[in-house]
Structure 1
Amino acid sequence: MAEPLKEIFNADAVAWLGQRLATAWADFPQDGFARAILADLPSLELKARIERIALEMQHLLPGDFTKSVKIVTKALGAPPPAGDGTDFGNFRVLACHRFVSLAGLDHPDLALEYFARTTRHFSAEFDIRPFILRDQAQVLAVMRAWADEKDWRLRRLASEGARPRLPWGLRLNALVADPKPLFPILEALRDDPVEAVRRSVANNLNDIAKDHPDLLVRYVKPWAKAEARAPLIRHALRHLVKQGHAGALELMGVDGKADLRAGRIKLDAKAIAIGGSLGLGVTITNAGDSSAYAIVDYAIHHLGARGELRPKVFKWTKLTLGPGESVTLARRHSLKPVTTRRYYPGGHKVDLRINGQRVAEAPFDLLPGAGTGEIPQKGQYSGRYRGY
């Protein structure tokens, strides 16, 4: 089994950071820093480890943020080369970013200057968010300027840091309520030459779609005139397509009047143990008089801790069927424990969705297996942690 993500912030990471801080500031108590943190580290999960390190930095670095932020910046050194957009850098730097969002909230100009430089070491998308909450207009204005910068890592931060519903990040409720202040940034980046930046724009749009579906469809519809934006638009509309939103499906080329039918979902087992996999099969037929485009998804309705079923939609395929044409699809769905989901034994079900519409379903039982895939969920980290 892969090493838990929290082990990125282990004794070696603490030693690495302590050494760099001591090199940048001769008075930094490197040994005491490590000793204090390592006493707590084994009992902490990922985010709480980041928080613990940042709090110790705040305790030991100068209380004057104008001095401490210079020390941290110096400790990180020169940013690595930008690369091609596939390497996001050193995860350990998150502890330094968290220090800045804890100690620098009353010094936004210095903090934003720090983020602009050090997001090149590792994205500052989580820790810029407290500053957006404090003064949205000011920070978004700075981020709009970043959207024109040469380094793709800074351009990506302009979008990713302002996502209304960034996973693991503070929710930006004002932008959830009214996302229009984001539009100048997204428009500046929609044709970015780096895929990682365009992907961030699509994720930002997908966040907006969850609260303003009709607005989002109206907003991106003119973008579709440029064929090169098709992948971005597909990714931006993925939530709405799964929900069967008519406007999103139309943008994806779906004819809402198409007569697509599905047979019974065939499962290769009525019961499967956690850690195994479930075989799915179904036949889809175009009963109409013209060719029809089909976006085929399926949802596994997972049993929750309170006995409720919660659907998780997965992509299956996209296809075009001629009049009267049928196709039989088959795939396997893994039920191995993963770091983002806990499995509970009991009754589950799977449903099939064609162009966002549920057309068939079948039940199955999930049996106890090698593990439940349990991970700390929101609210299970250290009670002191409030940043991400």
Structure 2
Amino acid sequence: MGRGPGVPPRTPSRQTPPTALRQLLAELRGPAAAPRPLDARALAALAANPGCDRRALLDGAGVDKAALASALGSPAPFGQSQFAFMRGHAFEARVKADGGRSLLALLGHESPGDVRVPDLAAAGPEGRAARTALALREATAAGAWALLDHPMLALEVAGSPAYLEPDAVVVAPDGRWTVVEIKSFPMLDGSADAAKVGAAARQSAVYVLALERVAALTEGASVAHTVLLVCPKDFSNLPTAAPVDVRKQLSVTRRQLDRLTRVEDIAARLPEGTRFDVSACSSDELARAVEEVPHAYAPECLAACELAFHCRDRARGAGAVEALGRSVRGELGGLTTVDAVLAAARGEAGDPADPTVEALRRAQVLRTEALACR
């Protein structure tokens, strides 16, 4: 949906001060709505689809996308069951029950001696992030083993701050910091489900990226690019672990996050008064607001974004080839709709010299011949 005549855009601001940015995001979200925290899972999904302004804006503004999707009539079945949530917390508590010694044993250090477990409590996420950075510097300077339980890390994403909370970070005496990711899915015969391990690796890469920002300001510190994935062993509740190399995921995440358009730049293109306030706006108003922000739907979004079903319906309604997948979209070049693709295949449109059009027409001939043989 376009902006429409006579509706002015917001004033662009490349250098929005932090206070003004927070006010802008609060206006978009709704003054009464608490911001939804941007976690590592959301950042990993955002990095996988950096061309989606819709997700970048809504995540940056802290909009509850699950509530927004429900208000739009396209709820997404996201979230963990209460049983799985409780089981995961119980397993994590067991892993950390002895002050970190079991974790260090899983890292290959059976007798680490005293393990420091600094208190990371502070007021608000900004305070916790500052306290975490201080604890990391102190542990590195002390040259001793330390376990940071649920530290808070800060990372700027598209001009908006994000606060991330890994399960744990281990500091070694040589100043190396290692991210620990604790999951409740089992590791059977030394291996786990590849899709779940891949998702954990992408999530951990975001933590490593945030840790590198702190390590760059800490003398003698370095961040391991191999994270420790801790899971239940076989069908028991005993912890086992495997190192996961996240260098590839880290490189992709860094590049994709750098490509993201700044949140204030996206907001500057919206009409004045655009809001995503689920509690105060009607479903029609919310639908119009959402349509003002361009999206980049792909089938992969169904596993990572609460608005995916809404975006899929719109993509299908417009006949967009993106609904068929990114690989298909890439092969079709300038043909952006299903109708245009079919017209080119039938010889009703398109440049015959275009390799894509030529391939489509050849495929149409082969299909006709195959059907005739039946």
TM-score (norm 1): 0.26
* Higher strand proportion: 1
* Higher RCO structure (Cα 8 Å, ≥6 apart): 2
